[in-house]
């Protein structure tokens, strides 16, 4: 654990700030902690304090936490959001691979999130800024199919629009994304299950233990015990017998939305 980490708590409720400070003291007595009760105060503290990490409440009176990020373009800090709501905003946060904690905040989850942030900062200090920029862009987008998904790769982080992903394939603890871009593929260090939870409501369907497809890019379905989905890139993706019924219902539902 990085003992000299400078942490700013942005929370409008005094009780919430005090609870977070107490948890941080238990995690490390050497954290340097400051606090702000609203957006305008937080912006001033950021300019003076130059934090490494901001624990940022989303819902606050008059202005929300996202406005802090929009009004501090030259960011050198990471963010962990804190919120009582599992809302549309949380989906945008997940797409940008930014950590968040649901209230009431669990001390162990907070410690894990901070430890993860410290490791990420050691690898790439500029990574958080690109994630935050992607988040702010996603929050402006009305058509959720245009959301950009953060994909961590060995070469760096990519931000790919959802409607450019043809299919995903499990590769042990990795996932390979096949994109509608000259048959380009990207290997990502997360499991297919991680992305199934995130992308299902965006027109994707898990058709096999190893495969998830974007229904938009299906060109043909070949009937069989489970069947074969022929994709726009020419790939023939096996549909498992166990997932066939869900797949066919997903196609029917998707067709009704377009």
- Please, how many CA atoms are within 13 Å of residue 257, restricted to the half-sphere of its CB? 12
pLDDT for position 73:
86
Look at the block and give the residue holding tokens 């990207």.
186
Distance, CA of 177 to chain centre:
16
pLDDT for position 2:
55
Q: How many domains does the chain have?
A: 2
Q: Is residue 76 part of a domain?
A: yes
- Report the phi/psi class of residue 117: left, alpha or beta, with left for phi > 0 and alpha for psi in -120 to 50: alpha
68 and 133 together in one domain: yes
45 and 106 together in one domain: yes
- Residues of the chain under the 70 pLDDT cut: 1-3, 86, 88, 124-127, 183, 255-258
Q: Is residue 222 part of a domain?
A: yes
Global pTM? 0.83
What 3 state SS string does 191-229 have? Answer: CHHHHHHHHHHHCEEECCCCEEEEHHHEEEEECCCCCEE
Edge-to-edge, what's the strand order for the sheet holding 218-222? 218-222, 228-231, 236-238
pLDDT for position 85:
78
Last residue of a domain, one of 139, 169, 204: 139
């Amino acid at each position: 654990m990085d003992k000299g980490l400078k942490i700013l708590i942005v929370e409008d409720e005094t009780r919430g700030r005090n609870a977070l400070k107490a948890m941080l003291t238990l995690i490390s007595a050497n954290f340097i902690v400051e606090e702000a009760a609203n957006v305008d105060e937080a912006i001033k503290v950021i300019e003076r304090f130059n934090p490494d990490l901001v624990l940022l409440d989303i819902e606050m009176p008059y202005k929300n936490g996202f406005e802090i990020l929009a009004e501090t373009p030259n960011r050198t800090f990471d963010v962990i959001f804190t919120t009582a709501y599992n809302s549309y905003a949380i989906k945008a946060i997940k797409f940008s691979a930014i950590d968040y904690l649901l209230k009431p905040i669990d001390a162990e989850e907070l410690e894990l999130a901070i430890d993860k942030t410290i490791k990420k900062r050691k690898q790439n200090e500029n990574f958080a800024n690109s994630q935050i920029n992607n988040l702010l862009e996603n929050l402006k987008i009305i058509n959720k199919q245009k959301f950009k998904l953060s994909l961590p790769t060995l070469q760096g982080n990519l931000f790919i629009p959802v409607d450019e992903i043809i299919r995903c394939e499990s590769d042990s603890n990795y996932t390979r994304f096949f994109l509608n871009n000259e048959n380009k593929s990207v290997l990502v260090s997360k499991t297919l299950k991680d992305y199934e939870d995130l992308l299902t409501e965006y027109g994707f369907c898990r058709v096999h233990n190893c495969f998830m497809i974007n229904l938009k890019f299906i060109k043909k379905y070949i009937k069989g015990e489970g069947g074969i989905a022929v994709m726009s890139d020419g790939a023939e993706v096996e549909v498992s017998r166990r997932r066939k019924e869900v797949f066919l219902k997903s196609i029917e539902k998707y067709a009704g939305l377009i």
